[in-house]
Amino acid sequence: MRSILVTGGAGFLGSHLCERLLERGDNVICLDNFFTGRKQNVTHLLANPRFELIRHDIVQPIALEADQIYNLACPASPVAYQYNPIKTIKTSTVGVVNVLGLAKRCKARILHASTSEVYGDPTVHPQPESYWGNVNPLGPRSCYDEGKRVAESLCMNYHQEHNLEVRIIRIFNTYGPRMDPNDGRVISNFITQALRGEPLTIYGNGLQTRSFCYVDDLLRGMMLLMDQDKETGPVNIGNPGEYTMLQLAEQILKQIPESKSKIVHKPLPQDDPKQRCPDITKARSLLGWSPTVDLQAGLAKTVEYYRGELAQA
Ligand code: NAD
Ligand code: UDP
């Protein structure tokens, strides 16, 4: 039986991943410092004897045994990662060195969660893996974007220098149940605002685009990438369906017909990327992967989740 370490395992994506790995029969060690993750995301797993939860910050080294490591630890919402930018960079640099060092000692294969943010405000559209990106190295997003770029570089260096088995996934905006309702990302904001009857806050004119992937599709792609033997990566995983924020707001209001919410415009944050859409040619050919859940179906499941969350609160 394999032992799999998931850093950031109490977060949105990490908690779904832990669940899937347990379902498959693996032993799972979930490690998290609970900065943006929540214990309630994994409470239902605690009774499983193959599941272990450790409170730990990857900026500090840790000695554990594992056959595979999924490194997801890092805040993902701009509000969260800009709260303490130095800590965010430390997590993607010192933290990633610690996790890579652990992988090297255990001879474990490691998948690192990178991001479409490495493309910055892209001048190539859609974005293939070969595009080097357009990142402002001094802007408010740089703690995350540049941190993730260094992390990719570190992964490649460990792969080349130490023959470490590395997989790099570039994740495009992913949503679904267990996204923290207060984390400030656009889908959690719009749905909770619509359910509370508050105005939906569109930043800027709302014509900027994002491509939204449902969590189940993303995790399928992530696990396929980890378990194939041909490619280190990076590999884009995301849904090429591209929407403006205005279209997204309108779609969410359509799916919550009782909502009395209106739309308001707020200032656009500095360096907010104007467009984002994955080129998934590589994922299709390498993994036979493509997304299966469209925005409407994914939003329906997410709205249902937030209804439950808000009712409990
Ligand atoms: P999340 O904020 O819900 O999860 C991140 C988890 O990492 C949280 O549980 C948090 O407490 C933990 N964490 C943060 N810093 C840590 C540290 N120093 N030590 C230990 N744990 C730490 O975000 P998510 O959406 O689940 O994202 C997971 C990963 O995927 C992140 O690395 C993120 O950058 C990447 N990603 C996510 C998206 C997305 O749209 N969801 C897009 C691109 C990349
Ligand atoms: N956004 C918005 N209203 C919100 C939150 C976000 O219009 O309440 C916009 C944001 O400016 C960006 C897009 O939605 O253009 C996606 O933002 P998010 O924080 O979800 O992710 P990222 O910018 O990292 O892709």
- At CA 180, angle to CA 178 and CA 183, rounded to 5? 150
pTM (global) more than 0.85: yes
Task: Provide the pLDDT for residue 42.
Answer: 98
Task: Provide the pLDDT for residue 100.
Answer: 98
CA distance 245 to 190: 10
Task: Provide the pLDDT for residue 99.
Answer: 98
Q: Which ligand is nearest to the CA of 10?
A: 1
Per residue of the chain (313 residues), what is the pLDDT tens digit?
899 999 999 999 999 999 999 999 999 999 999 999 999 999 999 999 999 999 999 999 999 999 999 999 999 999 999 999 999 999 999 999 999 999 999 999 999 999 999 999 999 999 999 999 999 999 999 999 999 999 999 999 999 999 999 999 999 999 999 999 999 999 999 999 999 999 999 999 999 999 999 999 999 999 999 999 999 999 999 999 999 999 999 999 999 999 999 999 999 999 999 999 999 999 999 999 999 999 999 999 999 999 999 988 8
Q: Where are the domains of the chain?
A: 3-173+215-238+272-292
Task: Provide the pLDDT for residue 1.
Answer: 82
Set 81, 144, 175, 214: catalytic member: 144
Mutate to test the pocket of ligand 1, among 62, 72, 170 (most ligand atoms within 8 A of CB): 72
Q: Which ligand is nearest to the CA of 194?
A: 2
Maximum separation of any 2 CA atoms in the chain, in Å: 58
Q: Which of 124, 225, 218 is nearest to 166 (CA)?
A: 225
Cis peptide before 234 (omega within 30 of 0): yes
Distance 153 CA to ligand 1 centre (A): 19
In CATH, the architecture of 3-173+215-238+272-292 is 3-Layer(aba) Sandwich (3.40)
- The ligand 2 atom at the shortest distance from the C-alpha of residue 185 is 20
The letter for the amino acid at 74 is C
89 lines ligand 1 (CB under 6 A): no
78 lines ligand 1 (CB under 6 A): no
**Among this protein's residues, is 203 annotated catalytic?**
no
Contact predicate 261/193, CB 8 Å: yes
Q: Own/partner pairs for 190-193, CB < 8 Å, 24+ apart?
A: 190/248, 190/249, 190/252, 191/252, 191/256, 191/299, 191/302, 191/303, 191/306, 192/306, 192/310, 193/261
* Tokens linked to 56: 């730990």
Contact predicate 127/95, CB 8 Å: no
- Please identify which residue in the block is written with the tokens 């209804």: 307
